[in-house]
């Protein structure tokens, strides 16, 4: 989920959602799908779960994504939070459950094609908590020379003694007023 790259197609939709009033008063959340079992390889380490996150949202146009795999990476109650500049110039955010993200972004990712990779990462850990600053690059096709978007995913994870879980993905795309600092490009 960079999630900004994951949500870049959504970022194109956000101004219309915000302007429609949907951002101001969210509709009731759909019933959460049952928590699918994770592939043990996807949740064995911090590196594995972040790689699985980027992999599950990436794919060519017309390819269905494995949304149960995505659900299996996130703990129940987890949130995905894109930050975006609204039409009025203010910075806002939208908070989604995993299922709301899938409902909102899923068809766009599958129809248009979307590839996101992690370009760099800075990680802090205390006990079983991890905060990763994951710099992402988004492309419509893997062979595109330059990304159409870069940004940073702030990914919070926890280890429960047997596996890793994603708790939150909070992201912001790079803009001229907010270029990615050099320390997050290494």
Q: Which residue has the tokens 């939070």?
A: 81
Q: Which residue has the tokens 């248009």?
A: 112
66, part of any domain: yes
Residue partners of 15: CB distance under 8 A and separation at least 6 = 84, 86, 87
Half-sphere exposure of 115 (CA within 13 A, CB side): 13
Alpha-helical runs (H) found in 129-178: none
26, part of any domain: no
21, part of any domain: no
| Domain count of the fold of the chain | 1
60, part of any domain: yes
161, part of any domain: yes
pTM across the whole model: 0.82
pLDDT of 103 above 60: yes
28, part of any domain: no
CATH classification of the domain holding 157: 3.10.450.50
Position with higher pLDDT, 9 vs 172:
172
69, part of any domain: yes
- Which structural domain range is residue 86 located in? 3-16+38-184
What DSSP state is assigned to residue 82?
E
- DSSP code per residue over 97-138: -HHHHHHHHHHHHHHH-BEEEEEEEEEEEETTEEEEEEEEEE
Confidence of residue 6 (pLDDT cuts 50, 70, 90): very low
Q: Can you tell me the mean pLDDT for 21-37?
A: 60
30, part of any domain: no
């Amino acid at each position: 989920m960079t999630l900004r790259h994951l949500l870049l197609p959504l970022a194109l939709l956000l101004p219309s959602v915000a302007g429609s009033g949907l951002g101001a008063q969210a509709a009731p959340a759909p019933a959460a799908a049952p928590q699918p079992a994770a592939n043990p390889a996807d949740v064995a380490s911090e590196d594995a779960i972040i790689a699985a996150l980027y992999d599950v949202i990436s794919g060519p146009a017309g390819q269905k994504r494995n949304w149960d795999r995505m659900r299996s990476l996130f703990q129940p109650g987890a949130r995905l939070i894109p930050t975006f500049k609204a039409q009025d110039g203010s910075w806002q955010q939208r908070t989604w459950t995993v299922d709301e993200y899938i409902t909102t972004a899923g068809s766009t990712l599958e129809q248009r094609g979307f590839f996101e990779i992690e370009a760099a990462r800075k990680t802090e850990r205390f006990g079983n908590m991890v905060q990763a600053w994951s710099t992402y690059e988004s492309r419509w096709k893997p062979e595109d020379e330059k990304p159409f978007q870069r940004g940073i995913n702030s990914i919070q994870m926890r280890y429960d003694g047997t596996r890793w879980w994603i708790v939150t993905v909070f992201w912001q795309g790079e803009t001229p007023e907010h270029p990615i600092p050099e320390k997050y490009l290494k």
